[in-house]
C-alpha cells in the first residue's frame, strides 16, 4: 500500500483536501484491507483508489504461528516475488521485522536469504504493507507496533530510496505515527548508503552487521567486505557518528569457533574504542543454523566473550531469536527451496517492465 500514490489519486480526481485525512485515517489507523471498507469515502472515489492505489499490492500467501507468540507472514508481489515479515512479542510490546528486498545480493555465508540471490527490491508501498499486516495482527491482540527493524530479507541500503520512503510513511504524524527512533535500519556495511544516511534528517537508528573484527574472516563470512573493508567501514561510521551524534548499533553474530574467541572479543573492543568511542552498542546475536555448516557458539564460549566485553566496558545486549520453530528467526527468512523466487525472476526476464 503506497499512501503517497493514494494521495496522488485524490489530486487527480480533484477531491477536497479533507479526503486526504480520511485516507490516512483509513489506511494507517483503521488498517482497512480494501478501499470499499473506507465508508467515509464516496463510492466513485473508492473505485478510483482501488484501481490506481490498491490497499493490497501484496498477496498474503501464508501465516505461521510460533509457540512464543511470533507470527511470520509470507507474501508475494504482484509479479510473483516472495517476501516475508515477522511479528515478535516481547511482553506486551510488539516489534516487526520487515523485508526490504525479495532475496539479497550480498550472499553472506551464514544467512539463508543470501542463498536465494536477489529477486528484486521492494517498493516503499510493499514495505509499508508489511507493517500494516503486522499492525492488524497486533491489533487482534489489543497491541500496537512499538518498533520496526529492517532485518528481514534484503540489504536495506541497496534500496535506500524505497526504505526511506517507507520510513516517511511510517513516521508521518498524521498517518501511522511511528517515531523515527523506533525504526532501525540494519546494513551489512553498504557504504554509499551509510553516507546517504549521514545527510538524512530523519532520526532512524543505524545497525551495522560486523560479525568479525578482521578483514580475512569478515570477507570469508561477508563478501561485501572485499569491496568495503573494515577500515573504510569504520571510517564511514566515524563520520556518521561525528555528523549525526547518533549511536551506532553493532551486530555481532556468535559463530562457534569462528568469531567467538577471546582475542576476537578484544579486537572488537579495540575497534569500537578507536572509531566509535562512547557511541556504540553491541548486539550479540545467537546464530540460527541455516544449513550453512556454521553453528551457534557454545554457551560457555558466549559467556567468555561476554566477560571480555564486560571487562572492556563495552555496552551490549545478548539477543536470542524468536520464532525459530517456524523458521522466522534472524537470517532464516528464505522461501524454502527458493523455487518461487527463481520462477519470478525468469518471468521478469521474459517480460521486462
The span of 47-55, 74-82, 298-306, 324-332 binding ligand SAH (CB under 6 A) equals 324-332
How far apart (Å, rounded) are the C-alpha atoms in residues 138 and 178?
15
Instruction: Report the number of secondary-structure helices (H) and strands (E) in the chain.
Output: 12, 12
Based on the shown chain and the rule CB under 6 A, indicate whether residue 101 belongs to the binding site for ligand SAH: no
Of residues 75, 110, 240, 249, which one binds ligand SAH by CB under 6 A?
A: 110
Q: Which of 84, 126, 155, 251 is catalytic?
A: 84
Based on the shown chain and the rule CB under 6 A, indicate whether residue 331 belongs to the binding site for ligand SAH: yes
Grid cell listed for 7: 494521495
Based on the shown chain and the rule CB under 6 A, indicate whether residue 178 belongs to the binding site for ligand SAH: no
Of residues 22, 66, 187, 259, which one binds ligand SAH by CB under 6 A?
A: 187
167 catalytic per annotation: no
The span of 58-66, 78-86, 182-190, 274-282 binding ligand SAH (CB under 6 A) equals 182-190
User: What is the Cα 308 distance to its own chain's centre?
Assistant: 29
Of residues 9, 96, 188, 233, which one binds ligand SAH by CB under 6 A?
A: 188
Residue 337 CB contacts under 8 Å (≥ 6 apart), including other chains: none
Of residues 123, 147, 171, 288, which one binds ligand SAH by CB under 6 A?
A: 288
Closest by CA position to 288, among listed 337, 257, 328: 328
Grid cell listed for 348: 521478469
Strand 183-187 relative to strand 205-209: parallel, antiparallel, unpaired? parallel
**By the 8 A CB rule, do 38 and 32 touch?**
yes
126 catalytic per annotation: no
Helices 160-171 and 3-12 cross at an angle (nearest 10°) of 80
Of residues 35, 228, 249, 287, which one binds ligand SAH by CB under 6 A?
A: 287
End-to-end CA distance of the chain: 20
Q: Residue length, the chain?
A: 353
Based on the shown chain and the rule CB under 6 A, indicate whether residue 155 belongs to the binding site for ligand SAH: yes
Based on the shown chain and the rule CB under 6 A, indicate whether residue 58 belongs to the binding site for ligand SAH: no
Closest separation in Å from C-beta 46 to ligand SAH: 37
How far apart (Å, rounded) are the C-alpha atoms in residues 42 and 55?
16
Of residues 88, 111, 160, 309, which one binds ligand SAH by CB under 6 A?
A: 111
Grid cell listed for 112: 539463508
Residues annotated as catalytic (active site), given as ranges: 84, 330
Footprint on this chain of ligand SAH (rule: CB under 6 A): 110-111, 151, 155, 186-188, 209, 251, 253, 285, 287-288, 290, 330-332
Amino acid at each position: 500500500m503506497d499512501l503517497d500514490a493514494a494521495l496522488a489519486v485524490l489530486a487527480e480526481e480533484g477531491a477536497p483536501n479533507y479526503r486526504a485525512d480520511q485516507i490516512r485515517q483509513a489506511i494507517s489507523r483503521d488498517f482497512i484491507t480494501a478501499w470499499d471498507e473506507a465508508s467515509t469515502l464516496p463510492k466513485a472515489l473508492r473505485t478510483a483508489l482501488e484501481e490506481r492505489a490498491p490497499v493490497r499490492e501484496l498477496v498474503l500467501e501464508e501465516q505461521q504461528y510460533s509457540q512464543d507468540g511470533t507470527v511470520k507472514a509470507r507474501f508475494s508481489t504482484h509479479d510473483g516475488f516472495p517476501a516475508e515479515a515477522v511479528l515478535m512479542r516481547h511482553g506486551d510490546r510488539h516489534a516487526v521485522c520487515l523485508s526490504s528486498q525479495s532475496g539479497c545480493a550480498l550472499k553472506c555465508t551464514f544467512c539463508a536469504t543470501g542463498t536465494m540471490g536477489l529477486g528484486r527490491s521492494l517498493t516503499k508501498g510493499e514495505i509499508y504493507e508489511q507493517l500494516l499486516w503486522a499492525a492488524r495482527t497486533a491489533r487482534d491482540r489489543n497491541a500496537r507496533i512499538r518498533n520496526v527493524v529492517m532485518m528481514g530479507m534484503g540489504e536495506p541500503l541497496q534500496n535506500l530510496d524505497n526504505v526511506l520512503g517507507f520510513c516517511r510513511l511510517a513516521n508521518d504524524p498524521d498517518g501511522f505515527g511511528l517515531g523515527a527512533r523506533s525504526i532501525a535500519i540494519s546494513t551489512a556495511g553498504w557504504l554509499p548508503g551509510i553516507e546517504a544516511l549521514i545527510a538524512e534528517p530523519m532520526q532512524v537508528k543505524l545497525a551495522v552487521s560486523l560479525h568479525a573484527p578482521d578483514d580475512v574472516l569478515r570477507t570469508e563470512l561477508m563478501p561485501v567486505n572485499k569491496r568495503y573493508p573494515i577500515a573504510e567501514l569504520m571510517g564511514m561510521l566515524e563520520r556518521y557518528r561525528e555528523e549525526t551524534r547518533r549511536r551506532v548499533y553493532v551486530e555481532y553474530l556468535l559463530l562457534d569457533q569462528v568469531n567467538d574467541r577471546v582475542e576476537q572479543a578484544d579486537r572488537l573492543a579495540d575497534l569500537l574504542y578507536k572509531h566509535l568511542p562512547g557511541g556504540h552498542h553491541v548486539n550479540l546475536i545467537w546464530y540460527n543454523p541455516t544449513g550453512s555448516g556454521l553453528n551457534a557458539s557454545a554457551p560457555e564460549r558466549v559467556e567468555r566473550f561476554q566477560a571480555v566485553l564486560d571487562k572492556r566496558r563495552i555496552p551490549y545486549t545478548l539477543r536470542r531469536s524468536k520464532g525459530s520453530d517456524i523458521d522466522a528467526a534472524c537470517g532464516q527468512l528464505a522461501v524454502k527451496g527458493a523455487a518461487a523466487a527463481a520462477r519470478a525472476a525468469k518471468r521478469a526476464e521474459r517480460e521486462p517492465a
